[in-house]
Structure 1
Amino acid sequence: METQEATHTVGQLARLAGVTVRTLHHYGDVGLLEPSGRSAAGYRLYDADDVDRLTRILYYRDLGFGLDDVAALLDGDTDTVEHLRHQHRLLTERLERVRAMVTSVEREMEAHMSGIRLTPQEQLEVFGETWDPAYQAEAEERWGDTPAWEQSQERVAHYTKQDWIEVKAETDALVADAVAAFEAGVQPGSDRADAVAERHRANLNRFYDADHSLQRQVAALFTEDERFAAEYDRHAPGLARWLREVIEANADKHT
């Protein structure tokens, strides 16, 4: 903190240090920062040493030290290094807590920006432990400038927790039926396979108007994006490619 004058009134020092006059009065009352002099009218006056002491007081206060500890540090009644080590440990622990809070807030922001109006706990209840709001941010980056994305945001903005539970139940049922058809050897283009494809399109239509051409684009991700492939194939190895072929065969009949 720089100063050009040898003395400062309490108001001048308060403005210089960015604190209140009341704070300086309190520091004086507890013996932490007593003014070096008084004016003829009895007003407090602070010199350069006082300014330096206040700088150190504010530094230690920013680190989280209490006033008694600050006084001990400044007046040499304690081991400064040991105090700083202790405060360093406390600040490091606080930093880790803040980082965890920031991460939690960021994830909730991503979820809200994606249009999903659920608390983190509700997201976990509905979607399970594998749910990651970052997927929504990635989807926005990929399709954010499309009419389908805009339409999906308008629709899900009104979805309740019960709506999401129903979506999840429908999706789970669709996957279960797809696995059963796949394991039974159902061929793409057959009536049973087409029924699976149409159920998948109906699921998409909860979010946006999905014609067969748009559904085909979504199905391409089942094999081109390893995360989609892994999600389907964990139910039955090869399911992702089979489901894509089923959707494409059905789309060929309508385009």
Structure 2
Amino acid sequence: MMHTSRDTAPDEASGSTRKNGLTVRGVRASRGGSLIIDGADLSAPRARITALLGPNGAGKSTLLHAIAGTSPASFTTLTHGDGDLLRMPRRSRAQVVAFVEQEPATPDSIRVRELVTLGRLPHDGMWAASGDDHPAVQRGIRLTEANELAERTYASLSGGEKQRVQLARAIAQEPRLLLLDEPTNHLDIRAQLRTLALLRRLAHDGTTVVAALHDLGLAAAHADHVVVMADGGVFAQGAPADVLTPALLREIWGVHADVLTNPTTGRTVLALSLEGASVGR
């Protein structure tokens, strides 16, 4: 199996779009004392949704933590637009990059509005504590439809509701690069689609969105760009229709795939099954 990145087709994210997006070169990252990612290269186009894909243990979460600066890692290059993230002070980097983790450490007693307001800390510092009327805070709550949750404590929320308010906090941060680790986890299908529609809106407004996803069907249907990780590196990246081929899905995930086209949207649809498995009787 290959360990280095290969572009499977010309990337639509060329020119200024690609230039102003995320560029990662030579990333090496460890977790728990073990080297997880060894020299991976990838890019994510600006104002587009990039899906980070791969089997369990491929290094998706580790990569997101490395880019966000929340775990030790080394890079040859880490830039977004014209900004060198490696040279930025921590606060400046937090003004550019927001990270929505799967299970962030959050005080149970904090109220939702207060939590969303903390997204302003990189910009407003200590004054963020009294900034719940900031337009960005109100926008985060409104876009995630969290108004009815605003006065509740974090501990009282369901898993899906927690996902929504963590995304609201990230929106309040007004990042140019938004990283998300399994943002559709804990959500039913309607909530998943609403979340992906919101990410589409954020991308349309100019945000570079990079989301680790397990659901290949959602990635094929909603991402503009996909990065497939395997064995500590980037195996392939490019447009979903070019990357998510039957051969790649068989090699990386060990599944059979029929790749179809949605007659309404024109996007890729994946019909997946176990190789050699009988269907029905």
> Which has the larger share of strand?
2
What range describes the TM-score normalised by the shorter chain of this pair? under 0.3
TM-score, normalised by the number of residues in structure 2: 0.24
Higher relative CO (CA 8 A, sep ≥ 6), structure 1 or 2?
Answer: 2
